[in-house]
Amino acid sequence: MIKRLLSFLDASPVNFLAVKNISEELEKNGFHRINPQEPLGKVEAGDKFFVTKNDSSIYAFQIGKKSLADGGFHMICAHCDSPTFRIKPNAEMLCEGGIVKLNTEVYGGPIMSTWFDRPLTLAGRVIVKGENAMNPQTLLLHIQRPLLQISNLAIHFNRQVNDGVKLSKQKDVLPILGIINDELEKGNLLMNVITGELNIKKEDILDFDLYLADATPACTFGVHQEFISSGRLDDLSMCWAGVEAMIAADATSSSDTSAFETTRVLAIFDNEETGSQTKQGAGSPFLSHMLQRIALAQSGTEEAYYQAVERAFMISADNAHAWHPNYSEKFDPTNHPMLGGGLVIKFNAAQKYASDAVSAAIFASICDAAGVPCQRFVNHSDVAGGSTLGNILASSIPLKGVDMGNAILAMHSCRETGSVIDHEYCVKAFTMFYQL
């Protein structure tokens, strides 16, 4: 199970590739892709299908024996974007000695210093000419070798570096791409990399969405190999746990048809790290539209969708903060989850999370049925916390739901740390949820 997670993390340096890899895994397990531009058609019990939006969010459905109106749906939500650096247009900056660096902008809220002095690569999508102006072609790019680096200034020129340094997003975090050794390379170094990797012509490139990614593979570490070290654990580990649970629950249903009563939904959104207010984010009505279309196809009435929402339950799966042994003062004295201690239910009095006493009790009962421990997280009252997609989604679809995740260290670092056993716990709990 952990080898599969590590492979998925390595193959998914950006949202577009994560969605591609999840799509392929679903298709291997009998799900078929549908086109949202076309009528949904007849929907029957046992149907398995998925749809994508912007190539960066994906929504999978497995229809239960009960209609949505009668049974509601069980939904797991996560997000596939992570903090990084986006390559700007006209990115090449020629410096003295022929050194070329790339102009970038920050995506989300990374711990910028963790990106220094490590091998980086490029990944994303490149848009090329298609049949006509309204239908360009999308090509995915993942350069699977070290290509760039953001280098620190030597301590000799910055004696205060270990006292804390304020970093400029425009100056300090621009990666070095290479050295020009041919006049023809001037202004073309990045394009030469793209065209060479994709075997296309420069004049066919219309635009791109490209991002920096850590080139070092994900791994386990610790005396007992009990920890996971990787970029993008937040939140690709939750995405993959949802995929594995849906497939595992489907395998159980195939051998016991009576177990599959309630429709299962896996919703993986984009742009959570920037507020979710995009067509592919949790603030979009796209998911609610799909659920309405399914309910209407089953019953012929819009009322079925509203009944389904009232019977539904949502797990908003986004990683939580693990207690840090070097910074215990930053954590709530009685609610600080531990690595390896089980799944984390998240609470916030300002309603940054969807959890309340009812939904938390339901999720804790699911964990108990799966034989999985769970913990509680509440922010230290003097430390501001973040939010996630659960409450954003619930503001447009009034779902009963819980915000949870696995505890990790160094959230938003270039490399985060999680627990092997917690990931195994998560898949077990998610599978149990889908089987209820």
Domains of the chain: 1-82+231-435 (3.40.630.10), 84-214 (2.30.250.10)
At 395 the three-state DSSP class reads coil
Residues 6 or more apart whose Cβ sits within 8 Å of residue 72: 262, 263, 307, 308, 309, 310, 311, 312, 313
Nearest-angstrom CA–CA distance, 334 and 30: 45
Spans of the chain, pLDDT less than 70: 184, 253-259
Nearest alpha carbon to residue 115 among 75, 149, 68? 149
Full-model pTM: 0.95
Buried b vs exposed e over 262-273: b needs ≥16 C-beta within 10 Å?
A: bbbbbbbbbbbb
Q: What is the pLDDT of residue 376?
A: 97
Q: What is the pLDDT of residue 383?
A: 83
Q: What is the pLDDT of residue 184?
A: 65
